[in-house]
Chain A
Amino acid sequence: MPGAEKRSVLVVMRHSPYGSSLAKAAVDVALAAGAFDQPVDLLFTGDGVLQLFPDQDSHSLGKKNMGRQLASLPMYDIDRVYVDAEAASRYNLDTATSPVEAKLLDPREMRQLMVGYDHLLGL
């Protein structure tokens, strides 16, 4: 993107992986930002943490496997991934098994994280 400035973006993933088409749209936005060399980080919050479960089998739904897409994030230099610790605990998610390495944040840490970006993209 010639002449483009760089502004940091945090994409906030709020939807369950197969319940809303916005979940995949959010990953696509993050990958596009990475492909255009823009600094982008991810925060999974609320139902969005369901995207981080291992061994997702979306075959019977006729949809692409979100876990596999998330696993490709580091190839686009997207390696800062954060998770809402409260939501992870509610869904009993063990982030050690997630398709992408993710850091747990408590509500105070999430607030601190969000103020550090030029743009928040909540999908």
Chain B
Amino acid sequence: MIYSLLILSPSVSGHGSRLGAEFARSAIARGHSIRRVFFLDAATTASSCNSIFAQDELNPAQAWEALHEEHAVELVICISSALKYGMLDDTEADRHGRPCASVNPAFTVSGLGQLVDACANSDRLMTFGG
């Protein structure tokens, strides 16, 4: 089955980001595919390359990065949310005259059309958080 995930809660609060990453890993292990993970609103902060967690705490961003590296899971953050939360890739940092990018390169900054496309081309859309 083809799944897409919509993540709404930030990685530092609630369980949406952690559960979403665990769901994606389990689904892949059972032979399903993940078409796309779309991060909306506060969930876009999961893409920060500047978050620092205590050594004995889980950083959900690492779980997402691992899914991207090991299984080529597409991680997309909503551009309008991302800008508000200060999540900028090189292009957006440049465009808005900010000193540096803040988005982990495992994540892509794109528009809501990517969520609509995920809905149209997935058997199931799972929402986490919100």
Contacts and interface: CB of A to CB of B under 8 A. Distances in A.
Nearest to B81: A25
A71 interface: no
Interface of A is mostly: mixed
A7 B120 CA distance: 5
Given A29-B112, A121-B6, A1 B117 contact: yes
A64 to B, nearest CB: 12
Classify chain B's interface size. 20 to 34
A33 B116 contact: yes
Contacts, number: 64
A5 B8 contact: no
A1 B125 contact: no
Given A25-B81, A29-B112, A32-B112, A121 B42 contact: no
A13 to B, nearest CB: 11
29 contacts: A4-B117, A5-B120, A5-B121, A6-B120, A9-B119, A14-B130, A21-B81, A21-B84, A22-B41, A22-B130, A25-B40, A25-B41, A25-B81, A28-B80, A29-B115, A32-B111, A33-B116, A33-B119, A36-B117, A36-B120, A38-B120, A118-B119, A119-B125, A120-B125, A121-B119, A121-B125, A121-B127, A122-B127, A123-B130
Given A5-B120, A25-B41, A29-B116, 7 more contacts: A1-B116, A6-B120, A21-B81, A22-B8, A28-B112, A29-B115, A121-B6
